[in-house]
Amino acid sequence: MRLYDNARTVANEHEILAGFQRTSLLSYQKFTHISDIQYGPNPRSTLDLFPLEQAKKTVIFIHGGYWQWCDKSDFAFIVPYVLAKGTQCVLLEYDLAPQSKISDITSQVNQALDFIREQDWRTDEVILVGHSAGAHLAALSLGHPIISEMVLLSGIYDLEPIQSTHLNHALNLLSEDILKYSPIHYSDRITIPCSILCGELELDELKWQSQNYFEIKKGGAQNLISFKLIPHINHYTILEHYFRYILS
């Protein structure tokens, strides 16, 4: 049995991901966007901007894929929900393992946030949303001055269990990586609203990751941090659920 294998929680993971891609293609066809804006030297250090005139907020979305799969363009299906809230959308890309190490990937996300901070199209209010491995990368960016709110969906906050799974073949995590790049080991206080969400139908391992991170971080920040286990939601349906019903 493969720990942290989300295919265990659904009967048709391949079909779900193919559906994400089909629906995402429609977003690129329908909505004004600028693709592959380069924010750093790596060829995959790019972002897609779906601008909105007079937008009051910007959502920056970091996709998952266990740091080694997927592409930002697979997740453009969230764009209609974001734009409908009067918010513009940024889909963030980063290089993948094994070509890049976890340290390189983390650095790229910070480069992207620094880049966006300097752009004239960014808004004062910026919501950073990460899903799965993207939530891990978002949590590592806690404290970046551009972020006014953080939303972590189905994330991984302790890398130690990952080291003993099939995922580590590409990641090749070292003990020092686990200490340095596990958000549970970050002592930064939470000073912005932070929502931790996970689906009731997700892997027990992921539900534990979210609950454990919340318990560790809530001290001294009870009014800012929240955790919710969403009934009847899995690792994939949490995306539409959040962007359609919770994002405000």
Per-residue pLDDT reduced to its tens digit, 69-99? 999 999 999 999 999 999 999 999 999 999 9
Report the top-level CATH class of 6-246.
alpha beta
Q: Band the pLDDT of 55: cuts 50, 70, 90.
A: very high
Nearest to 65 by CA among 132, 15, 7, 19: 132
Nearest to 78 by CA among 55, 48, 111: 48
pLDDT tens sequence across 28-53: 999 999 999 999 999 999 999 999 99
Q: Is the pLDDT confidence value at 229 over 60?
A: yes
Q: What are the structural domain ranges in the chain?
A: 6-246
Q: How far is CA 71 from CA 20, 30, 125, 213, in A?
A: 11, 19, 25, 26
Nearest to 16 by CA among 60, 77, 66: 77
User: Within 13 Å, how many C-alpha atoms sit on residue 161's CB side?
Assistant: 14
pLDDT tens sequence across 162-218: 999 999 999 999 999 999 999 999 988 899 999 999 999 999 999 999 999 999 999
Q: Is the pLDDT confidence value at 67 over 80?
A: yes
Distance CA 183, CA 197 (A): 16
pLDDT tens sequence across 129-162: 999 999 999 999 999 999 999 999 999 999 999 9
Radius of gyration of the chain (CA): 17
Q: Band the pLDDT of 1: cuts 50, 70, 90.
A: very low
Q: What is the pLDDT of residue 39?
A: 98
Q: What is the pLDDT of residue 105?
A: 98
Q: Is the pLDDT confidence value at 127 over 60?
A: yes
- Strands 87-92 and 57-62, by their bridges, are parallel
Q: Is pTM beyond 0.95 here?
A: yes
Average pLDDT of the residues in 210-232: 92
Q: What average pLDDT is seen over the chain?
A: 96
Distance CA 184, CA 206 (A): 14
12-15: long-range pairs with CB below 8 Å, 24+: 13/236
Q: What is the pLDDT of residue 222?
A: 74
